[in-house]
Structure 1
Amino acid sequence: MDMVAMAGQQALWTALLIGGPLLLLLLVIGLCVSVLQALTQVQEASLAFVPKMFALGVALLLGAPAAAGIMRAFAATLFDGIVAVGGLR
């Protein structure tokens, strides 16, 4: 049971490492666009959506190798733990 809890904790930490920076980036861009919309009184829905999607696409392209490395390390740790619990050599 302890291995299951550790695997769950590692899964949550991995999700935070991968998704956290992207969500933080979208939060900052959304805040900037909202301030710009409030200053100019232009309330267009696509003005809030398009910059976020563009930034998300760029961030995914630039951050994909790091995210793949984090997921690979998690999977290797998880599979090693499964083998250790199963007693296979």
Structure 2
Amino acid sequence: MTEADAYDILSQTFLTVLIASAPILAVALAVGLFIAFFQALTQIQEMTLTFVPKIAAIFAVLLIGTPLMYSTVRELAEKVFDLIASGSV
């Protein structure tokens, strides 16, 4: 295994982590900003108002986005396991 192969596996791993976590992080950011703007406009400073909608939105995205996350992680795992089985690693 050369340095280029290790770099390729690492870059694919980082890309897989970004693709798998991006939907959850994007929804959490969007809901958090919406709640913050809503609280700033109405001057409601309730602490549970920030957490409950964000958790519900993240849970909904997890239910919807799990197949995408699973497929991206599975593809990377298959590539790495194929490299291990062929003796390249």
Q: Which runs of 5+ in 1 are unaligned?
A: none
Q: d(CA) in 1 for partners of 2:10 and 2:47? A: 38
User: How many residues end up aligned between the 2 structures?
Assistant: 86
How high is the TM-score relative to the length of structure 1? 0.89
Q: CA RMSD in A?
A: 1.2
CA deviations 1:25-81 (Å, max 9, x no partner) are 111110100000001101111101111100000100111111111111110011122
1:43 is matched with 45
Q: d(CA) in 1 for partners of 2:73 and 2:38? A: 37
Q: Which runs of 5+ in 2 are unaligned?
A: none
Identity within the alignment, %? 35
Instruction: Find runs of 4+ consecutive structure 1 residues off by over 4 angstroms.
Output: none
Q: d(CA) in 2 for partners of 1:37 and 1:77? A: 47
How high is the TM-score relative to the length of structure 2? 0.89
